[in-house]
Chain A
Amino acid sequence: MIANLVFFLKEGIGGLVRTRVAGFVATITVAISLVLIGIFLIITVNLGRFVEHLRGRVELEVFLDDSLDEQKIQELADKIKRFEGVENLTFISKEMAIYEYKNLFKDQQQDYFEALGYNPLPASFRIKPANDYRNAVGAEKVFKYLTSISGIEEEDIVYRREYLVLLEKYNKVAIAMVFFVGSIVCLSALLLVSNTIRLIIASKQRIIETMKLVGATRFFIQVPLYIQGIVQGLLGGIIAALFLYALIQVASIGLSGFIKVDWRMYLLLLNFGILLGLAASFAAIRRYL
């Protein structure tokens, strides 16, 4: 049994070395396919993250009438919070508004408020929509809800409606592009892998023939071939993961670390590699056994 195991491992791993150019080319082909798939995954995931990031900045601001007293403001806040589309609400007092304004325009020499002699800025609620409402339709629902509350008028509410509509539009275009590019990437990977399979088949033809001739059982022929496929796929996966890791490190310098890659993506690439290797071995076995 141990002798068999040693034979399988030696044949499987040794098979990769023995096939030389074919084995090397096949491994590199698997690696290239995985790099293509990996780049596609990184773009998709990071594009999603970027859109989420932009959506996260969406807020609605409700300006309050100066005549409202503290109790009335509290009542309004309670009513707003009650809506499921509202994640949180921040009260900005008149004083805070002027502080923020001065902060925002601190380069300006003149103090207009000093000249006016009073604070013209109204107090407001800054409303952050819940996760599902951070889009054009959701924000509009929050807006509609706010207008339904007595004491809040349409013109009191400000939010970047056009920005959200544009974001949705560009997101749709981006998704369509990702799918288009993704399909091309997957198709290219498929072509590359089928080429790999042909290479592996060609490199294994002789050994399968010889094994059959000297009376090897199907099991004895198959196991080393599957091991070789796994090793080949794993190696391709490791090469692809290392390449992508280096690529991301280089790209991050320019993009100040905005691109983030989960370690699970590398794991996914290794699994993909193993799967491709196994598929190639399976095809070789079906063809010649």
Chain B
Amino acid sequence: MILKLHNVKMRYPNGEGLELVNFEMRNGEFVYLVGPTGAGKSTVLKLIYMEEFPTEGYVLVESHNSMYIKNKEIPLLRRKLGIIFQDFKLLEDRDVFENVAFALRVTAARRKEIKKKTLRALAEVGLSHKSRKMIHELSGGEQQRVAIARAIVNEPFILLADEPTGNLDPKTAVEIMNILEKLNARGTAVLMATHNYELVNHTSRRVVSIKSGRTLT
């Protein structure tokens, strides 16, 4: 087991949050976290990368427990996770290579290692030929691929994807899904939050439903 949310309740100051969330993930698993907008999917992901903390229950990510983790340990946890967002969260003022390398630079990696790993991650998402392009020169699908390359460059054991295809056309969305499937096939666990029921209706993967802050399955 690499991830566990146990009787998690979480309340934001505006009263919204999670009522009761329970689920676990095993190593290398691909899980869809599905629910309508506002159900609490993003909050679950934030709890996993410990941007937010439960008001009751606990979150266990590998050996890091939300009840005991110290502030200075959170960056170390995040280096083991890959996070992808619907709006990509790329740095517009840097080129593709620098966006991906950035995740390594902040971990004080060596130059040689940064170059090697960055080029490998870009090859993985099929963007080696665009490494010196600026972000605004890329299509939406390409930008999301840069975000995926940045997420995997540190070789995480799990990818957290928050509506990664939400801003993309169906064809590009399929491309992104194929990349996530490929990464999963290589052993990286994937937890993908989505409100696209069509997508999950045709999958053989495990689906965790969330509604009004409660997990249903």
A residues lining the B interface (CB < 8 Å) = 3-4, 7, 18-20, 206-207, 209-218, 220-221
Asked if B89 and A209 make an inter-chain contact with CB atoms under 8 angstroms apart, the answer reads yes
- B92-107 Cβ-contact flags toward A at 8 Å (1 or 0): 1110000000110111
The chain A residue sitting closest to B77, CB to CB, is A215
Alpha-carbon distance between A221 and B79 when the two chains are bound, in angstroms: 15
The reply to whether B106 and A220 form a contact with Cβ atoms under 8 Å apart is yes
Query: Does B91 contact A210, Cβ atoms closer than 8 Å?
Result: yes
Cα distance, A173 to B174, chains bound together (Å): 78
Instruction: Tell me whether B91 and A3 are in contact (CB under 8 A).
Output: no
Q: Is the CB of A214 within 8 A of B91?
A: no
| Interface: B78 (CB within 8 A) | yes
Q: Which residue on chain A has the smallest CB distance to residue B71?
A: A218
Are B79 and A215 in contact, CB atoms less than 8 angstroms apart? yes
Q: Which residues of B contact A4 (CB under 8 A)?
A: 108
What separation, in Å, do the CA atoms of A145 and B89 have in the docked complex?
82
Q: How far is the CB of B46 from chain A (nearest CB, A)?
A: 11
Among B69-100, those with CB < 8 Å from A are 72, 75-79, 81, 83, 89-94
**Nearest CB on A from B38, distance (A):** 22
Closest residue of chain B to A220 (Cβ to Cβ) is B106
- Of B77, B106, B150, which is within 8 A of A216 by CB? B106
Q: What CA separation (Å) do A263 and B81 show in the bound complex?
A: 54
B5-50 interface (Cβ within 8 A of A) = 49
- Chain B residues closer than 8 Å to A221, beta-carbon distance: 106
Q: Is B143 located at the chain interface by the 8 A CB criterion?
A: no
Closest to A221 in B: B106
Q: List 26 A-B contacts (CB under 8 A).
A: A3-B110, A4-B108, A7-B108, A18-B93, A18-B94, A19-B93, A20-B93, A207-B91, A210-B90, A210-B91, A210-B102, A213-B49, A213-B83, A213-B89, A214-B102, A214-B107, A214-B150, A215-B79, A215-B81, A215-B103, A215-B107, A215-B154, A217-B106, A218-B72, A218-B75, A221-B106
Complex Cα spacing A117 to B72, Å: 101
Q: Which residues of B contact A216 (CB under 8 A)?
A: 75, 106-107
B78 contacts A215, CB within 8 Å? Answer: yes
Q: How far, in Å, is A24 (CB) from chain B's closest CB?
A: 14
Task: Please give the distance in Å from B20's CB to the nearest CB on chain A.
Answer: 27
CB distance from A3 to the nearest CB of B (A): 6
Which residues of chain A are within 8 angstroms of B72 by Cβ–Cβ distance?
Answer: 217-218
- Interchain CA distance A87-B141 in the complex, whole Å: 86
Q: Which residue of A lies closest to B49 (CB)?
A: A213
B111 interfacial by beta-carbon distance below 8 Å? yes
Decide: A215 near B106, CB < 8 A? Known: A206-B91, A209-B89, A210-B91: yes
- Cβ–Cβ contact A214 & B93, under 8 A: no
- B76 engages A215 (CB within 8 Å): yes
CB-nearest residue of chain B relative to A20? B93
Residue of A18, A211, A217, A221 with highest tally of chain B CB at under 10 A: A217
Query: Which residue of A has the minimal Cβ distance to B105?
Result: A7
Distance of A210 Cα from B103 Cα, bound (Å): 9
Contacts of B111 in A (CB 8 A): 3
Task: Report the 9 A-B pairs with minimum CB-CB distance, sorted nearest first.
Answer: A216-B106, A215-B79, A215-B78, A214-B103, A18-B93, A215-B75, A217-B75, A220-B106, A4-B108
Interchain nearest-CB distance for A66 vs B (Å) = 90
Complex Cα–Cα for A80 and B79 (A): 85
A16 CB, nearest partner CB in chain B, Å? 11
Cα of A243 to Cα of B214 in the assembled complex, Å? 63
How distant is B83 from chain A, measured CB to nearest CB, in Å?
Answer: 6
Residues of the A chain whose Cβ atoms lie less than 8 Å from the Cβ of B79: 214-215
Which of A3, A212, A214, A220: most chain B Cβ within 10 A? Answer: A214
A16 to B154, CA, bound (A): 27
B108 and A213 contact, CB distance less than 8 A: no
Q: Shortest Cβ distance from B74 into chain A, in angstroms?
A: 8
Residues of B within 8 A of A206 (CB): 89, 91-92
- Give every chain B residue within 8 A of A211 (Cβ-Cβ): 102, 106
Nearest to A203 among chain B residues (CB) is B93
Give the distance to chain A from B177, nearest Cβ to Cβ, in Å: 22
Determine which of B78, B92, B94, B110 lies in contact with A214 in the assembled complex, contact meaning CB atoms within 8 Å. Answer: B78
Report the Cα distance A95→B46, complex, angstroms: 98
Can you name 12 extra interface pairs (CB under 8 A) apart from A213-B78, A214-B150, A218-B75? A3-B109, A20-B93, A206-B89, A210-B89, A210-B90, A211-B102, A212-B78, A215-B76, A215-B78, A215-B79, A215-B154, A216-B106
* Alpha-carbon distance A211/B103, docked complex (angstroms): 8
